[in-house]
Amino acid sequence: TESIVSKRLKAAAREAGITKRIYPHLLRHSFATHLIEQGTDLKIVKELMGHNNIKTTEMYVHIADTFKSNIKSPLDDILEEDGL
């Protein structure tokens, strides 16, 4: 049941020393966020999350700033090849 999942998740968080609020829906959010960070197309994430509208997925998934900073420009590849 949802209650058992919640209790076990909170117990695991305590064992891991996690002090932030933990709840089952956070796993869903984290799953979607990690898919986006790994480059999964937003339309695929939408289907996996069971959303009817892509806007729901766009609002639900917050792309981490670290992900944005890891995006490489094609120019970066050219400069690396030239040893610059």
Interval 13-70: pLDDT, tens: 999 999 999 899 888 888 888 888 788 888 999 999 999 999 888 876 665 445 555 6
Task: Tell me how many domains the chain contains.
Answer: 1
Q: Is residue 8 part of a domain?
A: no
Q: Is residue 68 part of a domain?
A: yes
Q: Is residue 2 part of a domain?
A: no
Full residue range of the structural domain in which residue 33 is found: 24-84
* 3-state SS track over the chain: CHHHHHHHHHHHHHHCCCCCCCCHHHHHHHHHHHHHHCCCCHHHHHHHHCCCCHHHHHHHCCCCHHHHHCCCCHHHHHHHHCCC
Q: Is residue 81 part of a domain?
A: yes
Q: Is residue 1 part of a domain?
A: no
* Location of structure tokens 């799953």: 31
Q: Is residue 10 part of a domain?
A: no
**What is this structure's pTM?**
0.62
